[in-house]
Amino acid sequence: MAVHLSTPIHKLTRVGKVTSERLAKLGIQNVKDLLEHYPSRFEDYSEKLSLNQLAEHQIGSVFGVIKSIETKKTPRKKMQITECYLDDSKGTIKIIWFNQPYIAQTLREGDMISVAGKIEQDFNGFVIKNPNYEKALADEDFLHTSRLVPIYPATAGITQKQIRFLMHQALEAVDEFKDFLPGKIKEKARLSDKNTAIKKVHLPASSKEYLDSARRLKFEELFLIQLITEQSRKKLRAQNAPKIEFKEQATKNLVNSLPFKLTDDQRKQSWQILKDMQKKEPMNRLLQGEVGSGKTVVAAIAALNAAESGFQTALMAPTEILAFQHYETITNIFPDRPIALLTSKYARASTNPNASRAIIKKEISDGKIDIIIGTHAIIQKDINFNKLGLVIIDEQHRFGVEQRKALKCKNAPLGRLSLASTPHFLSMTATPIPRSLALTLYSDLDISSIRQMPFGRKPIQTKVVEEKNRPKAYEFIKQKISQGRQIFVICPLIEESDALGIKSATEEFEKLKKAVFSSISIGLLHGRMKHNEKERVMSEFKNNNISILVSTAVVEVGIDVPNASIMIIEGADRFGLAQLHQFRGRVGRSSEQSYCFLFTDSQNAQTKNRMQSFVNARDGFEIAELDLQLRGPGQIYGTAQSGRFEDLKIARLTDAGLISETKKYAQDLLDNDPNLGAHAQIKFEIEKRAQELHFE
């Protein structure tokens, strides 16, 4: 049968229903997918070992004829041992496989085989245990032995041997790949042909050959992404945006009314945003800043200027609690402005306390409300803005791309804006985007950073607390509570079945209440609680009627209780570093010294290292880089947007050199051929890829 790129995987030899289902889990449906399933590493068995010159610990391959082969059961019948003697005319070696009795059925006396593994020595002499093997003639191509052997990302029930066997069949179709990189670029960047690169990336003759081929494929992958983001940036620039003037007096009044002085960074970034919004093209900016660095006022300044220019602002938060808190903060900042809160549960209007949901919606569509705050409820179909000029999304990495898109497109088509126009867009996050991401997947965004904390904040003291010191920590907490401070205790999800971590938080709550802090008021917060109940607990904590709040990760984002000065994190190893950093940011919001205590029962050295690097890290920017290296991007940014990150087939976000190189090539190409009219194949490829990456 002829194999093509489009050939379904089940058509390949030895792929049945079960195997093709398993391969589907790896995203492999056809031959093309398989060929684009790249090795994650190699084992080097290329050294050919001669049986009369062996030494212990050598790694390589031996080649010879089978003298004898049989499977025995160990006396207690727990294990089956296949013993084989191999002869290469210079010597003999013993080979052992455990619990793979079928090997004695496939291999026969007299067969020529190649065996790859590590030479060990036992009382009878040299032996190789559980090696790769294959039947082969001396001058034949080897797949599993006698070479750099690829190791692939796999899944349960799929063996490396199987993948290599299938890859071998699939490679027959490799010449069908279209090489759409322009010859000039290939020449300048010293890139080989695509089909050669794919062949060699699977079966390289040397590690240099692998690296060169991988570079070729990474280049293509990053180049496409750079073209996509670069184009999307250009497309956005070509759109009309509402012109929002800088209202100097109103802005000054607002700044003067604040109970604090803005930090230089807050001032600079506000100014940058105001400058963006005066332009004809829509702003697309990310404001990243440490938890507690004061992003909300920057957002408020932007919203004020929009309102003064006659435009509405939508502010979207990922949770009800956060939306509510923003509403409180923003209505405090603007006591006289019409501001609405809309979530699936709340519907409030600051200037009309009795308004129903229906009335609020009408006031929004009539343009009577300046700032609309809510969760994704504000992008529901039945809500129409009148003249939306600015969209602000808090903690945007928690949103699905679709939601973001929906809000962006809801630009009041029926409102008073007659020109089709795209609102300015500001997203805010306390999980900074590492530089490599900013240069690739997010390069359609302008980025502002607030790196400076408000004056007078003391750095939070962070410690990993050994279990034996737990009582000491509790004593310390009691002392702080007696001085009027408040404490967070975060609990992780422990069992799969306890997907929201409710059980662990509830148990911790009971334990602390009964055994440790019996005379102290303790509250419990988790995602399954009734909305009103949650809100009651939160406001009791805010009002300091509760001293200790035991919570699941729901408290993660944005809750602002300046009086809380100790953050306890149980099972800290179960959280990502960026998430730990978010938790820690719940304290340290006043001039009081704050603490973060991490508990973990893991003895794993790697985990301990990870915890220690968290303790040592200076800020969220450093943590974001660490997290990216340790866990990969999908984990950090949640599954909602992982499409943008996890789809990289071969490039890594650590390929810094290639990332900037490809960016230059992409900009060059688009400068010379903005619509890719002369590069139809590239145009086709990026449209396909943009869809996969959920780009607009």
- The binding site for ligand ADP (CB under 6 A) comprises 260-263, 266, 289, 291-297, 430, 454-455, 560, 562, 589
CB of 336 to ligand ADP, least distance (A): 19
| 39 is an interface residue for Mg ion by CB under 5 A | no
Q: How many helices and strands, by DSSP H and E, does the chain display?
A: 24, 22
Of ligand ADP, Mg ion, none, which one sits near residue 218, judging by CB under 5 to 8 A according to partner kind? none
Of Mg ion, ligand ADP, none, which one sits near residue 291, judging by CB under 5 to 8 A according to partner kind? ligand ADP
CB of 315 to Mg ion, least distance (A): 11
- State which residue, 367 or 558, has the beta carbon closest to Mg ion: 558
SS3 category, 129: strand
Residue with tokens 């009086």: 563
CB of 517 to ligand ADP, least distance (A): 27
CA 658 to chain centre: 21
Please count the other Cβ atoms lying within 10 Å of the Cβ belonging to residue 254. 18
Total residues interacting with Mg ion, rule: CB under 5 A: 1
Q: Are 92 and 65 in contact (CB under 8 A)?
A: no
Which H or E element spans position 565?
strand 564-569
Of Mg ion, ligand ADP, none, which one sits near residue 454, judging by CB under 5 to 8 A according to partner kind? ligand ADP
CB of 396 to ligand ADP, least distance (A): 13
- State which residue, 218 or 586, has the beta carbon closest to Mg ion: 586
What tokens does 629 get?
A: 């290296």
Of ligand ADP, Mg ion, none, which one sits near residue 262, judging by CB under 5 to 8 A according to partner kind? ligand ADP
Residue 463 bridge partners (DSSP): 597
Of ligand ADP, Mg ion, none, which one sits near residue 424, judging by CB under 5 to 8 A according to partner kind? none
Q: What is the dihedral of CA 129, 133, 139, 143, to 10 degrees?
A: -120
Residue with tokens 């890594």: 652
Helix spans in 42-129 (H): 103-106
- State which residue, 49 or 287, has the beta carbon closest to ligand ADP: 287
- State which residue, 558 or 588, has the beta carbon closest to Mg ion: 558
Of ligand ADP, Mg ion, none, which one sits near residue 23, judging by CB under 5 to 8 A according to partner kind? none
Of Mg ion, ligand ADP, none, which one sits near residue 301, judging by CB under 5 to 8 A according to partner kind? none
CB of 520 to Mg ion, least distance (A): 29
CB of 555 to ligand ADP, least distance (A): 13
- State which residue, 226 or 293, has the beta carbon closest to ligand ADP: 293
CA–CA gap between residue 127 and residue 143 (Å, rounded): 22
SS3 category, 142: coil
- State which residue, 73 or 261, has the beta carbon closest to ligand ADP: 261
- State which residue, 200 or 295, has the beta carbon closest to ligand ADP: 295
Residue 605 makes CB contacts below 8 A (sequence gap 6+) with none
CB of 287 to ligand ADP, least distance (A): 9
CA–CA gap between residue 688 and residue 146 (Å, rounded): 39
What tokens does 644 get?
A: 């943008």
CB of 394 to Mg ion, least distance (A): 6
| Single-letter residue type at 42 | F
| 558 is an interface residue for Mg ion by CB under 5 A | yes
- State which residue, 210 or 334, has the beta carbon closest to Mg ion: 334
Of ligand ADP, Mg ion, none, which one sits near residue 582, judging by CB under 5 to 8 A according to partner kind? none
| Single-letter residue type at 184 | K
**Binding map of Mg ion across residues 502-541, x = CB under 5 A, - = no contact:** ----------------------------------------
The region of 143-151, 331-339, 554-562, 672-680 touching Mg ion under the rule CB under 5 A is 554-562
- State which residue, 54 or 258, has the beta carbon closest to ligand ADP: 258
Buried residues in 139-172 as b, exposed as e (16+ CB within 10 A): eeebbbbbbbbbebebeeebebebbbbbbbbbbe
- State which residue, 131 or 558, has the beta carbon closest to Mg ion: 558
Residue 256, judged by CB atoms within 10 A of its CB (0-12, 13-18, 19+), counts as: exposed
Of ligand ADP, Mg ion, none, which one sits near residue 294, judging by CB under 5 to 8 A according to partner kind? ligand ADP
CB of 346 to ligand ADP, least distance (A): 19
| 292 is an interface residue for Mg ion by CB under 5 A | no
Buried residues in 32-69 as b, exposed as e (16+ CB within 10 A): bbbbbbbbeeebebbeebebeebeeebebbbbbebeeb
- State which residue, 299 or 640, has the beta carbon closest to Mg ion: 299
Which H or E element spans position 202?
helix 194-202
Q: Are 331 and 351 in contact (CB under 8 A)?
A: no
**Nearest-CB residue to ligand ADP?**
294
- State which residue, 415 or 562, has the beta carbon closest to ligand ADP: 562
CB of 450 to ligand ADP, least distance (A): 7
- State which residue, 299 or 617, has the beta carbon closest to Mg ion: 299
CA–CA gap between residue 367 and residue 365 (Å, rounded): 5
CB of 619 to ligand ADP, least distance (A): 13
CB of 328 to ligand ADP, least distance (A): 11
SS3 category, 259: coil
Of Mg ion, ligand ADP, none, which one sits near residue 297, judging by CB under 5 to 8 A according to partner kind? ligand ADP
Residue 694, judged by CB atoms within 10 A of its CB (0-12, 13-18, 19+), counts as: middle
- State which residue, 461 or 591, has the beta carbon closest to ligand ADP: 591
CA atoms within 13 Å, Cβ hemisphere of 684: 8
Q: Are 583 and 492 in contact (CB under 8 A)?
A: no
Of Mg ion, ligand ADP, none, which one sits near residue 400, judging by CB under 5 to 8 A according to partner kind? none
CA–CA gap between residue 549 and residue 555 (Å, rounded): 10
Which residue, 264, 257, 265, 306, is CA-closest to 283? Answer: 306
| Single-letter residue type at 596 | C
Residue 640 bridge partners (DSSP): none
CB of 115 to ligand ADP, least distance (A): 60
Residue 553 makes CB contacts below 8 A (sequence gap 6+) with 490, 492, 493, 501, 575, 579, 583
Of ligand ADP, Mg ion, none, which one sits near residue 693, judging by CB under 5 to 8 A according to partner kind? none
CB of 162 to Mg ion, least distance (A): 49
**Nearest-CB residue to Mg ion?**
558
What tokens does 25 get?
A: 């889990």
CA–CA gap between residue 515 and residue 88 (Å, rounded): 72
| Residues engaged in binding Mg ion (CB under 5 A) | 558
